[in-house]
Amino acid sequence: MSTSPRGKRTYHHGDLRPALLRAAAQVLEEQGPAGVLLREVARRAGVSHNAPYRHFASREALLAAAAAQGFEEFSARMQAAGPGAMAETYIAFALEHPQLFRLMFGGTLKLSSDADLSRASRGAYEGLVAAFRSRGDVPDPQTAAAAAWSLVHGLSELLLNGHFVEASAGEGAIGFARRVLGAVRFAAAAPPRPTHSSE
Amino acid sequence: MSTSPRGKRTYHHGDLRPALLRAAAQVLEEQGPAGVLLREVARRAGVSHNAPYRHFASREALLAAAAAQGFEEFSARMQAAGPGAMAETYIAFALEHPQLFRLMFGGTLKLSSDADLSRASRGAYEGLVAAFRSRGDVPDPQTAAAAAWSLVHGLSELLLNGHFVEASAGEGAIGFARRVLGAVRFAAAAPPRPTHSSE
DNA sequence: GGTTTGAAGTTGACAATGACAACATACGAT
DNA sequence: ATCGTATGTTGTCATTGTCAACTTCAAACC
């Protein structure tokens, strides 16, 4: 298991931190956040049960690092998608990595605890806000961004947890998501003013 | 601790199941779902560490029961609120019982596993759909309901997890929520087809 | 009224886990 | 070549979920 640069077994793994993160990501998707046991991750990385403590202060720190890594991949994909495809990219990410998504947004980790995690999370959000602001056709970009983020996030989570299994019966999750997203328009901030609306 | 009908200590608790659920709810809000330990719950109920097994098959079954109870209270409050105040009631519930809310919608429990939980969850959803349908001014009630549910749910969770701490700086969570909700309109379902569409 | 029976609680045990301490190894600077 | 220190290892401990065997007690039955 401990595949270093060469196949030779060395006392020191040589590349353990990334290996642990890979193993953790694997266990995470298989078993969910609660199944990510420090010892199991160490087992898969081919090291002793205490080796992870050289790279992570605790089980929670390992989970936080995995979540931070998830946020980075998430941010990258969102940025690459561009403003028009962000919603579907968001939902696709959630459906592809359901457990990682739960870990990232489940609220189990406090964002304030881990600096990397906090930064990664904020980066993802600001990327979305910037995209909405650059569109220019929305009166209150910040509010609209918050609404869009909420809508897409809620839709992702409810889909993930099976709350729309029958509602999305014939068309599949993505098709259902498109339909739901299409039913929403963003307007100006003030409630009683029905001005123009954009996609 | 074991306060039965009278204060007298009996070998049999006499009212243990509800007592365990109360204790579990208490620990849940204090420590989060991961902190709900079978032994700790038993401790608070004043019984031995194995007494809970007479009423719940496992730790997960206890959590499922707590979640189901949460869904019932949630449904009741939503129903009592009426169509106009459902969104704020939803968010208020999430803010009042953040950990219970996470347990209910966190996806840790599989809804298919526990019958009561599944039924309670579905009940809450159908109540919302019915409310939207009875309004009558929405072309596609089911899609609109799904969108509204997603929006409000996502907003709740993102608020809970602190992703809007700075965006909602001056006005507080509820005020911010009102502003975000006010920025959204519901329209017909199909984007490319301006005619009416059926579910 | 006395007996019995079974649900509700208890004590005891076991493997697994997260975390700490002490020890071993090997890479890189000197 | 030596030596220090980051990196892994073995050993240990309290805690947890769960299983098994034992107790208590209240209600059903004769």
Q: Closest-CA residue in chain B for A138?
A: B183
Burial category of A50 from C-beta neighbours within 10 Å (exposed 0-12, middle 13-18, buried 19 and up): exposed
CA-closest candidate to residue B144, choices B73, B86, B104? B86
Per-residue model confidence (pLDDT) at position A42: 98
Per-residue model confidence (pLDDT) at position A9: 64
B153 and A158 within 8 Å at the Cβ level: the answer is: yes
Angle between helices A141-160 and A98-105 (to 10 degrees): 130
Q: Closest-CA residue in chain A for B193?
A: A182
Is residue B116 within 8 Å of B54, Cβ to Cβ?
no
For residues B66 and B22, give the distance between their C-alpha atoms in angstroms, rounded to a whole number: 9
Q: What is the pLDDT of residues B73-96, one digit of tens each?
A: 998 998 899 888 999 999 999 999
What share of chain A has pLDDT > 70, as a percent? 88
Q: Closest-CA residue in chain A for B179?
A: A189
Per-residue model confidence (pLDDT) at position B142: 86
Minimal CA separation from A105 to chain B, in Å: 7
Closest partner residue to B154 (CB to CB) among A32, A151, A199 is A151
Q: Average per-residue pLDDT in chain A?
A: 86
Per-residue model confidence (pLDDT) at position A128: 75
User: For residue B190, is pLDDT > 50?
Assistant: no
What residue has its CA nearest to the C1' of C7? B54
Q: What is the pLDDT of residues B22-66, one digit of tens each?
A: 999 999 999 999 999 999 999 999 999 999 999 999 999 999 999
Phi, psi of B58 (to 5 degrees): -165, 175
Per-residue model confidence (pLDDT) at position A183: 92
User: For residue A191, is pLDDT > 50?
Assistant: no
Minimal CA separation from A173 to chain B, in Å: 13
Return the H-helix or E-strand segment holding B184: strand B184-186
Q: What is the pLDDT of residues B111-168, one digit of tens each?
A: 766 777 777 777 777 777 787 788 777 788 889 899 999 999 999 999 999 989 888 9
Nucleotides of D under 7 A from a protein CB: 6-12, 15-21, 24-26
Closest partner residue to B180 (CB to CB) among A111, A147, A184 is A147
Q: Which residues of B touch A105 (CB under 8 A)?
A: 157-158, 161
DSSP category for residue B128: H
Q: What is the mean pLDDT of residues B6-25?
A: 82
B151 and A146 within 8 Å at the Cβ level: the answer is: no
Instruction: Report yes or no: A98 at the B interface, CB cutoff 8 Å.
Output: yes
- Which of the four pLDDT bands, split at 50, 70 and 90, describes residue B5? very low
Closest partner residue to A150 (CB to CB) among B105, B125, B158 is B158
Mutate to test the interface with A, among B150, B178, B193, B196 (most CBs of A within 10 A): B150
Instruction: Report yes or no: A108 at the B interface, CB cutoff 8 Å.
Output: yes
**Cα distances (angstroms) measured from residue B91 to each of B176, B177, B181:** 11, 8, 11
DSSP category for residue B167: T
- Classify residue B95 as left (phi > 0), alpha (psi -120 to 50) or beta: alpha
- Which of the four pLDDT bands, split at 50, 70 and 90, describes residue A40? very high
Residue with tokens 């991949």: A73
Q: What is the pLDDT of residues A120-179, one digit of tens each?
A: 777 777 777 787 788 777 788 889 899 999 999 999 999 999 989 888 999 999 999 999
Per-residue model confidence (pLDDT) at position A156: 98
Per-residue model confidence (pLDDT) at position A110: 81
Instruction: Report yes or no: A147 at the B interface, CB cutoff 8 Å.
Output: yes
Chains A–B, number of C-beta pairs less than 8 Å apart: 146
Closest partner residue to A151 (CB to CB) among B143, B150, B185 is B150
For residues A86 and A88, give the distance between their C-alpha atoms in angstroms, rounded to a whole number: 6
Minimal CA separation from B33 to chain A, in Å: 9
User: What DSSP line would sit under A139-169, residue for residue?
Assistant: SSHHHHHHHHHHHHHHHHHHHHTTTTTTTTT
Estimate in Å the CA B44 to C1' C17 gap, whole number.
23
Q: Closest-CA residue in chain B for A154?
A: B154
Phi, psi of B139 (to 5 degrees): -60, -50
